[in-house]
Structure 1
């Protein structure tokens, strides 16, 4: 992709430039384009090495346009993470065999999520060993990520709590944060190299026992 940057970068704007004040794009579309450009950069270089300037070039805008919507490189990575979270959670929860069963569903959420990460090139680039420095536990358990996962899991967790399957003293939102932290462990070796059966045993032993009351 050939891009000629704008006046602030000492050149002329390329065809397809959309970042000017007169561009007919709403904020949601602008953010979508910038996130898509970030994804392409991550796929080429890994999340640990991309820069805001590279995203601007990829998107065909000036750096100031990127900064209008995302203040830092980390915000761009977070936006990509959020897009992957929504896609993964929608797919995994939509495929649950019996959403009424807390134990079985928790195992499926973890194992199916790991399978989805392993098959998804974007997630592989984000969570590969080389990209891990850019996506660490503190970012995965940050409020925007917790909010996104909570929106998907809250109805199920509340249903399981109301049916008496979960321990009564669990705080649902903090439970989500803890689930994300445990899930991050399964995204890196040696856990990520385990078979689905080994992952099921781990989740049953360390997640289900901690949340689900014995029947």
Structure 2
């Protein structure tokens, strides 16, 4: 394969993964079908099947895509900050991300799937947060932040300011940084 088609495949793959996000937001995992994804991505089904041979393969790639997006957001939020300010910037990113994340309705549509994904993500998120904790036991503090953020994702109810205040409290950060 030449570099031109590789670039085209990468671009098409990204378009498919963004389309998967849109379709999942409307239908959930159980009702996701590849025809809807292909239509949303404005590509043919054979093109989609050339890059993803099954729904399972597409959903695995989508999970990795979502994880990479979150990790990139965490890194970008932390960039240019140090100490407590770095952790606070990441906490603000978490709150903003949860507020804007259109797949949050999946909690109600497919709770079993969401819970399985959360179980997979907890150690990953904790590992990303541990190095950012400037005081206290990083394992305990990061674990508490992750579990509190997940409770906000699952239950909701608090506004952004309350959610951020609670995460800051769990992190041992007082007030605005």
**TM-score in terms of structure 1 length:** 0.54
- SS of residue paired to 1:50: coil
**Which residue of the other structure, out of 16, 19, 34, is the alignment partner of 2:16?**
34
Q: Secondary structure at the match of 1:24?
A: helix
Q: Which has the larger radius of gyration?
A: 1
> Within 1, Cα distance between the matches of 2:27 and 2:76?
24
Partner in structure 2 of residue 127 of structure 1: 104
2:83 corresponding residue in structure 1:
100
- The answer to whether 1:195 aligns with 2:171 is no
Contact in 2 for aligned 1:38/1:80 (Cα 8 Å): no
Partner of 1:136: 114
Where is the helix percentage greater, Structure 1 or Structure 2?
2
Residue of structure 1 equivalent to 2:73: 88
Deviation digits for residues 87-134 of structure 1, max 9, x if unmatched? 5314432475xx312xx654553344222332x3xx12x112544537
Question: What is aligned with 1:113?
Answer: 94
* Structure 2 CA distance for partners of 1:88 and 1:110, relative to 1, 3 Å: same
> In 2, Cα distance between the equivalents of 1:84 and 1:46?
21
Q: CA RMSD in A?
A: 3.8
Greater displacement, 193-202 / 67-76: 67-76
- Contact 2:145/2:167 (CA < 8 Å) preserved in 1? no
Question: Which ranges in structure 1 are unaligned for 5 or more consecutive residues?
Answer: 1-22, 210-215
Corresponding position of 1:208: 171
Note closer, same or farther for the CA distance 1:36–1:204 as it changes in structure 2 (3 Å cut).
Answer: closer
Q: Deviations over 1:23-60 (max 9, x none)?
A: 923564443232122123234x1434322332234342
- Residue 175 of structure 2 is matched in structure 1 by none
